[in-house]
């Protein structure tokens, strides 16, 4: 049908199918900023438009509904290059992180302040009620509205900056506009889907309806005969080369236990076949036409099923070791099914797939048995966590283009260099044949550390010589993406009557799911990021990961810490109560402090031997003191309602800053012809502001205006190797590499300037803005560039440096909460949540806070609302964001504060440590402890849903 | 996937189109029908009634007439609408959905967890349709197939409370209910207790109503028991049978108590 509409002030006419979604229609009209996060479910708000002046979701409308109507997108807000008041306010409030639906938020806030002159907090919540935004935690949107309202009244209004850190530094520790914020909030082309060309084919995957089965037969003839189908892929025409999807440094501690398409299905949603077609509809229809006969196998749901006598084996193939094969390997393989995909370990991680064990490790210090004998009080409890979905706003997406004998992959990834290596391995080509361009990433949170779809799309592009676009649906995100592993954690603690630990024991069981991504490192990290928070001479742990048939698990922000720390911190409070010692006091008696040496880390290397680590910076003293004062810790709040009980809780948290001795980052800084700079960073900015961190560090070192520093990151052809954005490595490793490259370049600059000024480099220094000065005179960077890049010059000044370290810089924090528990309904309202965190020197204070808000609200969601539900056959029951239960702005604590505790770390660049990951480690134990304080129940299992609270209260 | 789209110019045109295309579905705001369109679950033929029906909200004597195409946000914003219905409409936690969804479409979809339908029943609302005016319950019993022109709210009850309960702010509800009480001229009580979320469509708890009207249900605990005995929810992803029975019992009993307090 012909559709006439007014789009952003222009009359437009277009012919379209009436049932096409309005979002797709707008895309056809060249509007990219109206995006899809939920396949027309009407939940996430990335598809927001103003229709006849009202906020609606374009994906929940069909094209025909736009006929004769006026549509405004974010393009209507911008005048030329100038952003609107609202867009500027959002940038100043630091709430443009991944930016995937920042244009939607801008429209919602624009609508709000057009309707209401002075909006209340409730008005803001209502205006943004349809916006799902995992990254920001929503809190800074309240500030954005406040700024927008003030600017609307007075264009010259400038808000107060978010704190000032980093001493006399010009950029480090000071508020500065995130360098990609303008294009994101304006809705410019920035994401993978924006790069897709018209001739691209669409790849769709036929996924298993069963959780555990063998494919007896597969008939693709009808699909192949369908007009528009380019190729059909099954296990018969793809490489049978085991690999792992975990994007970790090579050699990975995760086993290679999958192939592109297999004859065995190991989870609901596992790949069965794939169809490449000229358009999406044909690709979907092609999948429907594939006939598959399955032989169903018993389903392994959890650790108990996995270790039961005679349990079905999730991986029944041979076990192979690249290094360090155990002596009994031959015996282990005696009954293996040679037709099944093998499990390949790069080195031993204690796995035994013959018992459904994907990895196992144990360790300890001191004499734990003796420690328990010496204890006056012993606590022994078990805690359990659930499977959590990462739910990035931007669905997993890739676009692969063959170009000659190379492939260019536009990827939404946390690990462009690992992605390149894994794809090259599957295609059987060398890495130089693959170029990965990491586009802006609309949220990853760990799920984009794994290579979930790029390798299959690359195979399709490689063999068909056609450009291939492959994007998950939201349902596929739930059944086929990587998730947070469910864990069962037994904690045994012993202490003297005086409240000193004598022994600590943790036994962690992890439900790994179908494949072995991060099998060892996630649960082990749970121990290494929680046990060292308390000082005890006798401590031990075991970690066992079991294969099962639940949807795949992998990395999620915080790695294993949010789960194991929940168990430990609740156990600590339980023990404090048994000892009749106040919780805060008990924590203070036993917690880690600066100067301590953490012996336990000797047993907690990431797949290799660890070593004791000293704590050379620790902000816990201040975090605890400030937090307890803020929340008025010793005051018992009274409820005015008989059914509502109020309580307070706390916990302490820790994380790492990258993986010392394992990971590496590199960066190149180039001086351009006018004395400005381009930074080519291998770092993968996921929206957290890593590129801005790199720009700040370079500008700080080179004493130049930050606007003269451009950052190009995540292009594997352009920038040197970086391990990727995971394990809290961004600021510390990638930022450190940028600083090191700038420092190297500064020495080169001084040397060249000395030649020009005919003096010695050590008699010169860099001076802001962008010049070299000394007694012999001065030379600007522009002059220096002209000199070095001319026909008689020494060559363009380019410096490349790496960052590696053997030192761990642990970030710390203390979280406090006040909750009101309705004992009639089981509802828990979070009245106050205060997160106080030591990230060393905060490089971007506003965005550091944004990371904390985002992390805390994610973990509130994990602890309170979210739950991936499976039926008894292992099939996922809730495959949409609403029934899964992600938190929205209406769930934000009534009083929500992120506070930065500045500590100058001796090893991090400019004293920085990591900030984002640690933020998810606190909410579960803090809330569980607060709920106990309110009404006396111990919640030893996620989620703290009304039903589970009522059950604990004995009401049902 | 929607293959054929017709736009009705007025109510008569909508009815005529429906007669000509019996498989067609009326498309109001589209928040129900369009949902999940990428999966091909949408109807093949739709009749868009956006321009065909009124969306005005007017007061006629003691009655309030709401055009079927009034959006739920317009219901929330209208000064004419009783506060309980405004509150029920605002239970839909997403502004963009409220801006798109119409009140007529919400009733026509007849979802068991509708926030609007229990409150309309508690308000004794009637629906204007091509087959005449009918009670909301009657419309639901007949299979909710007729085109709704408008909703008429008679004189308000003496007290009315709408309630919802969900795991999080935006999660699907486990309780969507409304309670209203009216004093007749002879001072006798007329009660309406109506719940969604516990059956395939919104229910009225007649025995509970009779207990309130006869005075046999005086205490909260008795009300909770009576409500629990009147419902048979099913276990699903939102909760177990035990939880759903409990939470509906205590929340609706609480609503009744609040109504009684308001009445006294």
Cβ(A670)–Cβ(A680) below 8 Å = yes
**CB distance B168–A865 less than 8 Å?**
yes
**B145 touches B133 (CB < 8 A):** no
Clarify whether residues B144 and B175 are in a common domain: no
**Whether residues A724 and A688 fall in one domain:** yes
CA distance B250 to chain A (A): 7
Give the chain A residue whose CA is nearest to the CA of B175. A825
Alpha carbon separation from A672 to A48, A155, A615, A714 (Å, rounded): 41, 36, 41, 20
- In angstroms, the CA A501 to CA A536 distance is 6
Q: CB distance A891–B5 less than 8 Å?
A: no
How far apart, in whole angstroms, are the C-alpha atoms of residue A45 and residue A35?
A: 8
* pLDDT higher than 60, residue A539: yes
A95 is a domain residue: no
How many domains are there within chain A? 4
Structural domain boundaries, residue B80: 57-153
B142 and B103 co-located in one domain: yes
Confidence category of residue A339, pLDDT binned at 50, 70, 90: very high
Distance from C-alpha of A691 to C-alpha of B102, rounded to nearest angstrom: 45
> What is the arithmetic mean of pLDDT over B207-234?
96
- Is residue A588 domain-resident? yes
Cβ within 8 Å, pair B100-A129: no
Nearest of A870, A865, A882, A881 to residue A942 by alpha carbon: A865
Judgement on whether residues B15 and B74 belong to the same structural domain of the protein: no
Single out the residue of A539, A452, A556, A489 nearest to residue A919, CA to CA.
Answer: A556
Mean pLDDT estimate for chain B: 94
Whether residue A762 sits in one domain with residue A859: no
**Which residue has tokens 């939404």?**
A412
- Cβ contact, residue pair B94, A67, below 8 Å: no
Coarse DSSP helix, strand, coil percentages of chain B, rounded to the nearest 5 percent = 35, 25, 40
Q: Are residues A269 and A416 in the same domain?
A: yes
Residues A830 and A935 placed together within one structural domain of the fold = yes
The number of beta carbons lying within 10 Å of the beta carbon of residue B74 is 21
Residue A139 distance to chain B (closest CA, Å): 16
**Of A542, A304, A492, which is closest to residue A381 (Cα–Cα)?**
A492
Question: Which uninterrupted H or E stretch holds A149?
Answer: helix A139-153
- The 10 Å Cβ neighbour count of residue A352 is 16
A570 and A649, same domain (yes or no): yes
Question: pLDDT category, A698, cuts 50, 70, 90?
Answer: very high
Is the domain of B66 the same as that of B146? Answer: yes
CA-based nearest distance B255→chain A, Å:
13
Q: Does residue A845 register a pLDDT over 70?
A: yes
Are the beta carbons of B48 and A126 separated by less than 8 Å? no
Residue in A67, A865, A956 closest to B246 by CB: A956
A859 and A900 both lie in a single domain: yes
Inform me whether the pLDDT recorded for A64 exceeds 80: yes
pLDDT for A607 equals: 66
Q: Which residues of A touch B38 (CB under 8 A)?
A: 21, 39-40, 473
pLDDT at B8: 97
- Chain A nearest C-alpha distance from B238 (Å): 8
Q: Which of A618, A663, A594 is nearest to A805 (CA)?
A: A663
Yes or no, beta carbons of A947 and B240 under 8 Å apart: yes
Whether the per-residue pLDDT at A447 is higher than 90: the answer is: yes
Same domain, A499 and A472: no
CB contact under 8 A, B165 and A946: yes
A105 found inside a domain? no
Mutation test of the interface with chain A: which of B4, B38, B235, B253, choosing the one with the most A Cβ atoms within 10 A? Answer: B38
Express as a percent the part of chain B with pLDDT over 70.
Answer: 98
Kindly list the residues from chain A whose CB atom is less than 8 angstroms away from the CB atom of residue B2: 18-19, 62, 64
pLDDT above 80 (res B167):
yes
Question: Could you tell me the two tokens for A63?
Answer: 């094209």
User: Which of A130, A877, A950 is nearest residue B94 as measured by Cβ atoms?
Assistant: A130
For residue A176, give the nearest of A901, A707, A767, A903 by alpha carbon.
A707
| pLDDT tens digit sequence for A126-147 | 999 999 999 999 999 999 999 9
Partners of residue A42 in chain B, C-beta under 8 Å = 31, 35, 94, 96-97, 100
Structure tokens at B156: 């308000």
Q: CB burial class (10 A; 0-12, 13-18, 19+) of residue A163?
A: middle
Six-digit token string for A856? 């805390």
Residue A230: name the closest of A512, A567, A463, A492 by CA: A463
Give dist(CA A882, CA A38) in Å, integer. Answer: 10
Cβ separation of A42 and B96 shorter than 8 Å?
yes
The sign of the CA dihedral A427, A439, A26, A134 is: positive
Rg of chain A on CA atoms, in Å: 28
Residue B219 has pLDDT above 70, yes or no: yes
Give the C-alpha separation, A548 to A3, whole Å: 51
CB neighbour list of residue B219: distance below 8 Å, 6 or more residues apart = none
CATH code of the domain covering residue A68: 3.10.20.30
Closest CA to A837 of A894, A919, A911: A919
Contacts of B94 in chain A (CB under 8 A): 42-43, 45, 129-130
Q: Provide φ and ψ at B4, rounded to 5°.
A: -125, 135
CA-based nearest distance A944→chain B, Å: 10
Closest CA to A61 of A92, A16, A105, A91: A16
Q: Which chain A residue lies closest to B73 (C-alpha atoms)?
A: A54
Give one DSSP letter per residue of A411-429, joined into a string. Answer: E--S-HHHHHHHHHHHHT-
A892 to chain B: closest CA residue: B169
> Average pLDDT, stretch A778-791?
96
Longest dimension (CA), chain B: 58
A585 three-class SS: helix
Could you read off the pLDDT of A699-738 as tens digits, one per residue? 999 999 999 999 999 999 999 999 999 988 999 999 999 9
What b-and-e string marks burial along A712-727, b requiring 16 or more CB atoms within 10 Å of the CB?
Answer: ebbbbeebbbbbbbbb
Asked if the structure places residue A306 within a domain, the reply is no
Burial class (CB in 10 A: 0-12, 13-18, 19+), A83: buried
- How do A213-219 and A291-296 pair as beta strands? antiparallel
Residues A216, A252 within the same domain: yes
A349 located within any domain: no
Asked whether residue B201 carries a pLDDT value surpassing 60, the answer given is: yes
Q: How far is CA A380 from CA A372, A492, A570, A600, A708, in A?
A: 11, 4, 12, 20, 59
d(Cα B212, Cα B210) in Å, to the nearest integer? Answer: 5
Distance separating alpha carbons of residues A129 and A216, to the nearest angstrom: 48
Q: Report CA dihedral (B80, B84, B88, B90) to the nearest 10 degrees.
A: 60
Residue in B50, B100, B172 nearest the CB of A56: B100
Confidence at residue B38, expressed as pLDDT on a 0 to 100 scale: 34
Is A840 contained in some domain? yes
Question: Do B237 and B173 have their domain in common?
Answer: yes
Optimal mutation site among B94, B239, B240, B248, interface A, most CBs of chain A within 10 A = B94
Confidence label for B41 from pLDDT (cuts 50, 70 and 90): low
Residue of A612, A456, A439 lying closest to A535 (CA atoms): A612
**Structural domain ending residue among the three candidates B153, B180, B196:** B153
Of the candidates B113, B257, B256, B109, the one whose C-alpha atom is nearest the C-alpha of residue B193 is B256
Nearest CA among A590, A475, A477, A494 for reference residue A539: A494
> Which residues in chain B touch residue A864, judged by CB atoms under 8 angstroms apart?
168
- Is B145's pLDDT higher than 90? no
Across the interface, whether the CB atoms of A891 and B168 are under 8 A apart is answered yes
Element (H, E) at A814: strand A812-822
Q: Computed over its alpha carbons, how large is the radius of gyration of chain B? A: 19
Helix, strand or coil for residue A406? strand
Looking at the fold, whether B115 and B176 belong to one and the same domain comes out as: no
Q: Is the dihedral of CA A422, A424, A430, A432 positive or negative?
A: negative
Residue B39 — pLDDT band, cuts 50, 70, 90? very low
Extract long-range pairs of B12-16: CB within 8 Å, 24+ residues apart: B13/B52, B14/B47, B14/B49, B14/B52, B14/B53, B14/B147, B15/B130, B15/B147
Do A416 and A291 lie in a common domain?
A: yes
Is the CB of A39 less than 8 angstroms away from the CB of B39?
yes
Interchain CB contacts (distance < 8 Å): A and B: 148
Residue A346 forms part of a structural domain? no
Same domain, B29 and B84: no
pLDDT tens digits for range A159-198: 887 778 999 999 999 989 999 999 999 999 999 999 999 9
A750/A892 same-domain check: no
How many Å apart are CA A111 and CA A120, to the nearest integer?
14
And the tokens for A923? 């909410």
Q: Which secondary-structure segment (H or E) carries B126?
A: strand B126-129
Distance to chain B for A503, nearest Cα, Å: 39
CATH of the domain at A431: 3.90.1170.50
Domain boundary, last residue among B133, B153, B173 = B153
Residues A399/A468, Cβ–Cβ less than 8 Å: yes
Q: Kindly determine whether residue A18 and residue B50, on different chains, have CB atoms separated by under 8 Å.
A: no
Lowest mean pLDDT of A102-111, A423-432, A728-737, B140-149, name the range. B140-149
A729: in domain: yes
* A469: its two tokens: 């676009």
* B61–chain A nearest CA distance, Å: 31
B71 contact residues in A (CB cutoff 8 A): 54
Task: Over range B71-80, report the average pLDDT.
Answer: 98
Q: How far apart are CA A418 and CA A833, in angstroms?
A: 37
For the segment A873-902, the average pLDDT, to the nearest whole number, is: 96
CB contact under 8 A, A42 and B94: yes
| Residue from A888, A896, A903, A891 nearest A816 by CA | A896
Structural domain span for residue A404: 195-297+393-443+448-480
**CATH of residue B178:** 3.30.390.50
pLDDT band of B37, cuts 50, 70, 90:
very low
Total residue count of chain A as it appears in this document: 956
Asked whether the predicted pLDDT for residue A846 surpasses 90, the reply is: yes
Residues B127 and B166 reside in one and the same domain: no
Helices (H) and strands (E) in chain B, counts: 10, 12
Residues B65 and B44 in one domain: no
CATH code for the domain in which residue B124 is found: 3.30.465.10
What is the pLDDT of chain A when averaged over all its residues?
Answer: 96
A618 and A675 both lie in a single domain = no
ipTM score of complex: 0.96
DSSP calls for A838-871: E-BS-SSHHHHHHHHHHHHHHHHHHHHT----B-
Are residues A693 and A580 both part of a single domain?
no
Return the pLDDT at B131. Answer: 87
Output the domain CATH number for residue A706: 3.30.365.10
Q: What is the mean pLDDT of residues A520-546?
A: 96
Tokens of A382: 């078990």
Instruction: State how many domains chain B has.
Output: 3
Which of B106, B131, B153 is where one domain is finished? B153
Which structure tokens are listed for A932? Answer: 């106990």
Domain boundary among A753, A777, A803: A803
CATH classification of the domain holding B21: 3.30.43
Interface test with A, best of B46, B98, B167 (most A CBs within 10 A): B167
In this complex, do A127 and B95 lie within 8 Å of one another by their Cβ atoms? yes
Q: Is the pLDDT of residue A609 over 80?
A: no
Nearest CA in chain B to A280: B38
């Amino acid at each position: 049908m012909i559709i006439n509409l007014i789009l952003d002030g222009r009359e437009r006419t277009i012919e379209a199918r009436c049932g096409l979604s309005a979002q797709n229609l707008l895309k056809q009209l060249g509007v990219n900023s109206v995006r899809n996060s939920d396949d027309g479910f009407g939940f996430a708000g990335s598809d927001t438009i103003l229709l006849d002046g009202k906020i609606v979701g374009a994906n929940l409308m069909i094209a025909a509904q736009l006929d004769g109507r006026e549509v405004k997108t974010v393009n209507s807000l911008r005048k030329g290059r100038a952003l609107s008041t609202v867009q500027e306010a959002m940038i100043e409030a630091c709430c443009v992180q991944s930016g995937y639906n920042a244009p939607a938020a801008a429209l919602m806030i624009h609508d709000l302040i057009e309707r209401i002159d002075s909006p209340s907090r409730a008005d803001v919540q209502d205006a943004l009620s349809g916006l799902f935004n995992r990254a920001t935690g929503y809190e800074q949107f309240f500030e954005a509205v406040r700024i927008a309202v003030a600017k609307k009244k007075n264009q010259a209004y400038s808000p107060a900056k978010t704190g000032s850190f980093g001493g006399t530094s010009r950029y480090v520790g000071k508020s500065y506009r995130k360098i990609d914020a303008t294009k994101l909030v304006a809705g410019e082309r920035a994401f993978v889907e924006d790069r897709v060309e018209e001739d691209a084919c669409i790849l769709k995957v036929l996924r298993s309806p069963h959780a555990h089965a063998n494919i007896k037969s597969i008939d693709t003839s009808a699909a192949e005969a369908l007009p528009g189908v380019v190729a059909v892929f099954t296990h018969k025409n793809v490489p049978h080369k085991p690999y792992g999807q975990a994007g970790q440094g090579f050699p990975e501690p995760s086993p290679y236990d999958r192939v592109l398409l297999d004859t065995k299905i190991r989870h609901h949603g596992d790949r069965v076949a794939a169809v490449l077609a000229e358009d999406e509809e044909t690709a979907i229809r092609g999948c429907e036409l594939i006939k598959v006969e399955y032989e169903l196998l018993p389903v392994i749901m959890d650790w108990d099923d996995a270790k039961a006598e005679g349990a079905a084996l999730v991986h029944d193939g041979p076990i192979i070791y690249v290094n360090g094969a155990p002596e009994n390997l031959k015996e282990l393989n005696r009954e293996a099914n040679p037709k099944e995909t093998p499990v390949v370990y790069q080195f031993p991680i204690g796995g035994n797939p013959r018992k459904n064990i994907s990895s196992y490790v144990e360790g300890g210090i001191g004499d734990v048995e003796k420690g328990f004998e010496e204890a006056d009080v012993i606590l022994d409890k078990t805690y359990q966590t659930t499977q959590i979905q990462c739910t990035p706003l931007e669905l997993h997406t890739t676009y692969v283009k063959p170009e000659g004998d190379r492939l260019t992959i536009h990827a939404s990834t946390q690990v462009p260099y690992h992605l390149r290596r894994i794809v090259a391995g599957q295609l059987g080509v060398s890495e130089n044949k693959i170029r990965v361009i990491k586009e802006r990433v609309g949220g990853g949170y760990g799920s984009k550390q794994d290579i979930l779809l790029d390798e299959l799309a690359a195979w399709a592009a490689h063999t068909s010589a056609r450009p291939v676009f492959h994007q998950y649906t939201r349902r596929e995100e739930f059944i086929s993406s990587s998730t947070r592993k469910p864990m069962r954690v037994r904690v045994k603690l012993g202490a003297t009557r005086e409240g000193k630990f004598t022994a600590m024991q943790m036994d962690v069981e992890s439900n790994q799911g179908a494949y072995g991504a991060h099998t060892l490192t996630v649960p082990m990290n749970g121990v290494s990021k929680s046990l060292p928070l308390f000082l005890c001479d006798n401590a031990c742990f075991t970690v066992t990961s079991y294969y099962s048939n639940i949807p795949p698990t992998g990395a999620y922000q915080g790695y294993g810490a949010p789960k194991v720390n929940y168990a430990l911190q609740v156990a600590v409070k339980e023990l404090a109560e048994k000892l009749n010692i106040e919780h805060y006091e008990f924590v203070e008696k036993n917690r880690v402090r600066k100067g301590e040496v953490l012996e336990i880390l000797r047993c907690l290397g990431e797949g290799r031997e660890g070593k004791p680590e000293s704590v050379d910076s620790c902000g816990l003293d201040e975090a605890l003191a400030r937090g307890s004062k803020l929340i008025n810790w010793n005051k018992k709040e009274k409820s005015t309602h008989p059914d509502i009980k109020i309580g307070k809780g706390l916990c302490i948290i820790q994380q790492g800053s990258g993986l010392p001795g394992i990971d590496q980052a590199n960066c190149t800084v180039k001086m351009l012809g006018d004395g400005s700079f381009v930074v080519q960073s291998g770092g993968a900015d996921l929206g957290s502001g890593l590129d801005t961190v790199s720009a700040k560090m370079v500008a700080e070192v080179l004493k130049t205006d930050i606007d003269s520093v451009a950052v190009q990151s995540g292009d594997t052809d352009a920038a040197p190797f970086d391990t990727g954005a995971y394990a809290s490595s961004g600021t510390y490793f990638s930022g450190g590499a940028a600083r090191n490259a700038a420092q190297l370049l500064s020495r080169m600059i001084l040397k060249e300037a000395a030649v020009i000024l005919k003096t010695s480099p050590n008699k010169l220094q860099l001076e802001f803005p962008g010049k070299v000065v000394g007694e012999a005179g001065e030379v600007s960077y522009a002059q220096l560039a002209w000199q070095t890049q001319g026909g008689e010059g020494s060559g363009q000044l380019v410096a490349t440096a790496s960052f590696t370290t053997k030192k761990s810089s642990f970030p710390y924090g203390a979280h406090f909460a006040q909750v009101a528990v309705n004992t009639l309904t089981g509802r828990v309202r979070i009245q106050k949540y205060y997160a106080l965190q030591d990230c060393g020197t905060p490089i971007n204070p506003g965005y550091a806070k944004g990371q904390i808000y985002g992390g805390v609200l994610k973990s509130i969601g994990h602890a309170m609302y979210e739950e991936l539900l499976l039926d008894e056959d292992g099939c996922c029951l809730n495959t949409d964001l609403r029934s899964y239960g992600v938190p929205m702005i209406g769930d934000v604590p009534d009083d929500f504060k992120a506070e930065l505790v500045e500590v100058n770390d001796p090893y991090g660049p400019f004293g920085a440590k990591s900030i984002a990951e640690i933020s998810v480690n606190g909410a579960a134990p803090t809330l569980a402890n607060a709920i106990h304080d309110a009404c006396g129940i111990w919640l030893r299992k996620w989620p703290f849903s009304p039903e589970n609270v009522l059950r604990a209260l004995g009401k049902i | 996937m929607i293959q054929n789209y017709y736009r009705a110019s007025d109510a008569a045109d909508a009815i005529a189109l429906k007669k000509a295309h019996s498989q067609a579905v009326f498309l109001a705001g589209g928040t129900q029908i369009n949902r999940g369109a990428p999966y091909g679950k949408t109807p093949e033929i739709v009749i868009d009634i956006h321009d065909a029906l009124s969306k005005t909200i007017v007061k006629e004597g003691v009655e309030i007439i709401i055009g079927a195409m009034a959006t739920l946000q317009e219901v929330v914003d209208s000064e004419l609408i009783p506060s309980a219905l405004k509150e029920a409409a605002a239970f839909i936690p997403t502004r963009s959905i409220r801006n798109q969804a119409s009140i007529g479409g919400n009733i026509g979809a007849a979802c068991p967890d509708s926030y609007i339908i229990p409150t309309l029943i508690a308000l004794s609302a009637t629906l204007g349709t091509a087959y005449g005016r009918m009670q909301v319950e009657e419309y639901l019993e007949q299979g909710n197939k007729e085109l709704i022109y408008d909703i008429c709210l008679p004189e308000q009850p003496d007290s009315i409370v709408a309630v919802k309960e969900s795991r999080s702010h935006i999660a699907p509800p486990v309780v969507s209910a409304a309670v209203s009480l009216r004093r007749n001229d002879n001072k006798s009580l007329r009660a309406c207790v109506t719940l969604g979320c516990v059956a395939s469509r919104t229910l009225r708890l007649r025995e509970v109503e009779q207990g309130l009207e006869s005075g046999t249900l005086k205490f909260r605990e008795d009300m909770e028991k009576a409500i629990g005995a009147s419902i048979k929810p099913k276990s699903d992803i939102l909760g177990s049978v035990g939880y759903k029975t409990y939470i509906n019992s205590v929340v609706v009993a609480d609503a009744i108590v609040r109504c009684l307090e308001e009445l006294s």
